[in-house]
């Protein structure tokens, strides 16, 4: 081999899956390096020699799930008695005093635990919306990037923000907010350090002011300008509750979507969390602009916020993806469970024949990838990144099932047996590589207790 040559990437054949969410791949997949090189038809063999064969005849194979909205710090406040049984605004007011005590170490453990939970549920790409910056946590993005790289999960780390506190008419206490200048300076810093806009990126950065009632219009406008300059995405909460609409009408004299358009966010660069309370005309405007919507079915049911108009939004042209949302409004970081909840809620909304298990899986994969502006993940095809989730149907809950793909959703799969990200195994035999779940659980639980014992 010449000095300027590099060795060919190893070829791995995942042979004869029980079922696979891909056309023409009944005989499995060939993974070469970080990408899918070949789909093998039933009874066929790879077109070129392989270096390793893995028998996946017990496994249902789907594209790695893509989570488009989360708040990982909230793993520390799950099922908290001050916040359960409350709608969004009272729920936020109950928890802000505790979140204001967040330390870098607690945040690191919360991030590690949430990313591990997501991996175990078959999630290979995670977008987190971190908007909370108490004193000492100024390098939150750096912590999340380090944890994502250590675990090998693909991450869209959002530089969230809040600049309007209670004294300015906002909801959060002043102790968790920052001024516009500090926020914009750190956005520039983390974009320069971490954002990779190219295909196959393992870490990308998005800019994510928390919501219209948490930041200034100036911050929204300048975030949009920064995103255009750095080729990154924009993300925020919008139209989650009727209270939000009432607030925008009272403070800005306009509905949330009109506000979004005024500040330059009605663009295909944007994806929104929740997107519940849009009227017909607003749905059409979102679709024409190509704005993505993250459907958070479980959180919306827990907080009784309403239901996302998924079918109308997709028909109008908006990408629709899924997100688990915060672990204090969902109480889990499990994207496979979110797929089932999305199916059930949307069937209740649209009818039993209107939404299938394949629709829900598509939202969690290709739809979510589109929300993040990515065409290299979310689908099993040649040239796509080898991000895969493999589930077995060995538990009692699956006994008697006949359609393996349908069984994943209808029978309630919740934990993957194997997970691959960029061609590398990150979960094997239901265990995350490089993480001791028992030790992590102990350390995280201690951090959660310490959060509430701090005076």
pLDDT digits (tens, 9 = 90+) for 36-61: 999 999 999 999 999 999 999 999 99
Rounded to 5 degrees, φ, ψ at 292 are -80, 150
C-alpha span between 49 and 36 (Å, rounded)? 15
State yes or no: pLDDT of 455 exceeds 70: no
pLDDT digit string (tens) for 72-87? 999 999 998 888 898 8
pLDDT at 332: 93
pLDDT digit string (tens) for 360-412? 999 999 999 999 999 999 999 999 999 999 999 999 999 999 999 999 999 99
**Across-strand partners of 185?**
none
Question: What tokens does 76 get?
Answer: 């520390």
Residues 6+ apart with CB under 8 A from 402: none
The predicted model scores a pTM of 0.96
pLDDT at 212: 81
**Which structural domains are found in the chain, ordered by start?**
11-63+380-432 (2.30.40.10), 65-371 (3.20.20.140)
C-alpha span between 223 and 202 (Å, rounded)? 23
Sign of CA dihedral 236, 241, 245, 248: negative
Question: What tokens does 255 get?
Answer: 């509905």
Q: Which residue has the tokens 């270096």?
A: 51
State yes or no: pLDDT of 328 exceeds 90: no
Tell me what the mean pLDDT of segment 134-158 comes to.
97
Distances (CA, A) of 437 to 72, 169, 216, 297: 17, 42, 41, 27
Q: Which residue has the tokens 């040649």?
A: 382
| Residue 314: Cβ within 10 Å count | 18
Lowest mean pLDDT among 50-59, 160-169, 262-271, 293-302: 160-169
pLDDT at 278: 97
State yes or no: pLDDT of 3 exceeds 80: no
Beta strands in 82-168 (DSSP E): 123-130, 154-161
Work out the burial of residue 381: count CB atoms within 10 Å of its CB; fewer than 13 is exposed, 13-18 middle, 19 or more buried. Answer: middle
pLDDT at 393: 98
State yes or no: pLDDT of 249 exceeds 60: yes
pLDDT at 454: 55
59-63 and 19-20 beta bridge pairing:
parallel
pLDDT digit string (tens) for 417-454? 999 999 999 999 999 999 999 999 999 999 999 987 75
| Residue 221: Cβ within 10 Å count | 14
- Cβ pair 125, 369 in contact under 8 A: yes
Report which of 298, 235, 243 is spatially closest to residue 267, judged by C-alpha positions.
235
Instruction: Classify 162 in phi/psi space as left (phi over 0), alpha (psi -120 to 50) or beta.
Output: beta
C-alpha span between 412 and 428 (Å, rounded)? 20
- Cβ pair 94, 87 in contact under 8 A: no
pLDDT at 39: 98
C-alpha span between 60 and 176 (Å, rounded)? 44
Chain center to CA of 79? 21
Report which of 105, 95, 159 is spatially closest to residue 133, judged by C-alpha positions.
159
pLDDT band at 1 (very low <50, low <70, confident <90, very high): very low
State yes or no: pLDDT of 356 exceeds 70: yes
pLDDT at 452: 78
Mean pLDDT of the chain: 95
pLDDT digit string (tens) for 150-209? 999 999 999 999 999 888 777 788 889 999 999 999 999 999 999 999 999 999 999 999
Which is more confidently placed, 97 or 297? Answer: 297
State yes or no: pLDDT of 252 exceeds 70: yes
**Across-strand partners of 236?**
272
Tell me what the mean pLDDT of segment 239-249 comes to.
90
């Amino acid at each position: 081999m010449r000095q300027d040559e590099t060795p060919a990437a190893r070829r791995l054949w995942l042979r004869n899956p029980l079922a696979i969410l891909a056309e023409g791949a009944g005989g499995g997949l060939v993974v070469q390096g970080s990408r899918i090189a070949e789909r093998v038809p039933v009874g066929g063999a790879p077109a070129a020699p392989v270096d390793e064969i893995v028998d996946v005849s017990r496994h249902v194979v789907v594209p790695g799930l893509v989570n488009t909205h989360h708040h990982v710090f909230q793993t520390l406040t799950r099922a908290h008695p001050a916040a359960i049984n409350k709608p969004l605004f009272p729920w936020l007011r109950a928890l802000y005093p505790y979140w204001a005590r967040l330390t870098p170490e607690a945040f690191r453990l919360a991030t590690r635990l949430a990313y591990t939970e997501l991996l175990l549920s078959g999630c290979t790409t995670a977008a987190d919306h971190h908007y909370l910056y108490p004193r000492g946590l100024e390098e939150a993005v750096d912590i999340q990037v380090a944890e994502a790289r250590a675990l090998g999960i693909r991450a869209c780390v959002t530089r969230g923000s809040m600049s309007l506190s209670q004294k300015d008419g906002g909801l959060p206490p002043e102790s968790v907010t920052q001024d516009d200048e500090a926020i914009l300076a750190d956005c520039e810093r983390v974009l320069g350090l971490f954002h990779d806009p190219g295909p196959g990126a393992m870490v990308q950065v998005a800019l994510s002011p928390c919501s219209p009632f948490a930041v200034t219009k100036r911050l929204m406008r300048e975030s949009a300008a920064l995103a255009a300059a750095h080729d990154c995405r924009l993300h925020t909460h919008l139209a989650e509750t009727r209270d939000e609409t009432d607030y925008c009408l009272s403070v800005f004299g306009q509905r949330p979507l009109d506000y979004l358009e005024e500040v330059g966010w009605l663009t295909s660069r944007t994806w929104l969390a929740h997107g519940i309370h849009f009227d017909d005309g607003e749905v059409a405007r979102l679709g024409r602009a190509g704005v993505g919507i993250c459907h958070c079915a479980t959180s919306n049911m827990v907080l009784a916020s309403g239901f996302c108009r998924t079918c109308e939004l997709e028909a109008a042209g908006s990408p629709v993806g899924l997100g688990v949302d915060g672990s204090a409004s969902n109480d889990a970081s499990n994207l496979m469970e979110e797929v089932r909840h999305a199916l059930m809620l949307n069937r209740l909304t649209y009818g039993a024949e209107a939404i299938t298990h394949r629709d829900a899986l598509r939202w969690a994969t290709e739809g979510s990838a589109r929300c993040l502006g990515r065409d290299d993940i979310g689908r099993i095809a040649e040239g796509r990144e080898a991000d895969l989730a493999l589930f077995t149907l060995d538990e009692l809950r699956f006994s008697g099932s006949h359609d393996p793909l349908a069984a994943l959703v209808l029978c309630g799969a919740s934990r993957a047996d194997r997970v691959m990200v960029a061609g590398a195994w990150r979960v094997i035999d239901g265990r995350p590589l490089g993480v001791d779940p028992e030790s992590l659980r102990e350390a995280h639980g201690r951090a959660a207790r310490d959060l509430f014992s701090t005076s």
